[in-house]
Structure 1
Amino acid sequence: MSTRLATRFKACAAQGRAALVTFVTAGDPDYDTSLALLKALPGAGSDIIELGVPFTDPMADGPAIQAAGLRALHAGQTLAKTIAMVHAFRESDADTPIVLMGYYNPVYIYGVDRFLADAKAAGVDGLVVVDLPPEEDNELCLPALKAGLDFIRLATPTTDDRRLPKVLANTAGFVYYVSITGITGAATPDADVVGQAVARIKRHTSLPVAVGFGVRTPEQAAAIAAGADGVVVGSALVDALRASLDADSHATPATVPAVTELVGALAQAVRGAARVAAE
């Protein structure tokens, strides 16, 4: 079965380039601004959107994304509103893949079956749930796959060849390679080391491999794009949004453009790196 994620990665590969995957937090700094940004991302150059589900204890996230989640929660964002945001996005965009990224607690509280049905109906394509290891696949991964949602697994620098098959067993959509050890936005990845890690993962799977955690600049994105199927940028976009807010952390007319301009520069870099590699 062809999915939006598979179609998009295939299209990018046909163009000889990596996909640009952009992360923003749903509801940051408020629902309306967040939806406007979501709708603007594809036109700015985003190939795939990761939409962060705000949570009070985001243990894998660094200070920037933690702060974004708190802004969203203070503004009243919920998992139900995040699903509603995807539904509103789909009214004008039927092609751009959307992946919800977050933690299991909000899904558990919402109810797994209800969540999967509502997410699928809204137009969600996949899930990244960072605190559910393969040993807990019965909780959400297997039901998600049955419901027609890709379950995207994280692989890290400490995921060795013995552990990797377990991680990949029920992974779908793509493999998310965490390029550094630690939290999001905490360090800068080494493109050569990342390229070797991606090649190792691809010996175990035919799925695309997207690389994230620590990619902040167009130059870094271009370097990573040379050896990966996708480049994920999150903290840098969240930082750009935060810098555009007023003293009370409210949106300004500069908020959406602050993010889309950076996305445009990242997209240009990723596409430029692919052309150089293809020559």
Structure 2
Amino acid sequence: MKRYFIEVAYNGAAYAGFQIQQNANTIQAEVEKALLIYFRTSVPLTGSSRTDAGVHALQNFFHFDASFQIDINLIPKAIYHLNAILPNDIVVKSIKQTNSNAHARFDALYRSYQYNIHLTKNPFKDQTSFYYPFKLDIALLNQAAEVLKDYSDFQSFSKKNTQVFTYNCTLTKSVWATQLHDLVYNVQGNRFLRGMVRGLVGTMLKVGRGKYSLNEFKNIIESKSPTKTDFSTPSHGLFLKEVGYNDDIFL
């Protein structure tokens, strides 16, 4: 039995999320279906990072155990055929053999996300960016983003009914950047809670518009309550950008 990591990217608009669900189509369901067709045997997958309905990924991973042999020289051929089977909004980018105990979720060192906002109307960005035609103070947005790195408990930015043992996350990057008429929030951390990035973005936008002061923003974090957190930012602006691993888990 050998273990493999399969790297994927996808447009999440048509899916109910990353992880397999009953009575709903997901990224995992489509990839498992393609593997079944190609390898002619069921290949259960374990995901690295769950993304919600409508959220996209430039990079995400599954791992799977294969009772069958995958010739390393034929991996490019396997990738080609899997992509021919998969719908156009999902792509397999790589398949790599790993150590037998490597785990796509637990061995991830970090995840990084980006949230895209366009400030002027643009019909070509409606599936991958949030149209937000309001005046924003970028300096205030970045002050709020920097504040986040001083905290570890993000219960205020976790949606209710989330079954987790801890709300602690370590953020190593949190910054807003402008690109012509676009605004991008980049955040990197060891883990993220359900709805966390969208909650951070929505609440910081209120700081950028002057609806919350920086002190009020800090109070929301310290309250450990999501009652004043704004989760209304739409999913289509959010991308899982990268999942990082130590190179030594790959053979």
Alignment TM class, shorter chain as reference: under 0.3
Greater share of residues in strand? 2
Tell me the TM-score normalised to structure 2 length: 0.25
Greater share of residues in helix? 1
Tell me the TM-score normalised to structure 1 length: 0.23
**Whose radius of gyration is greater, 1 or 2?**
2
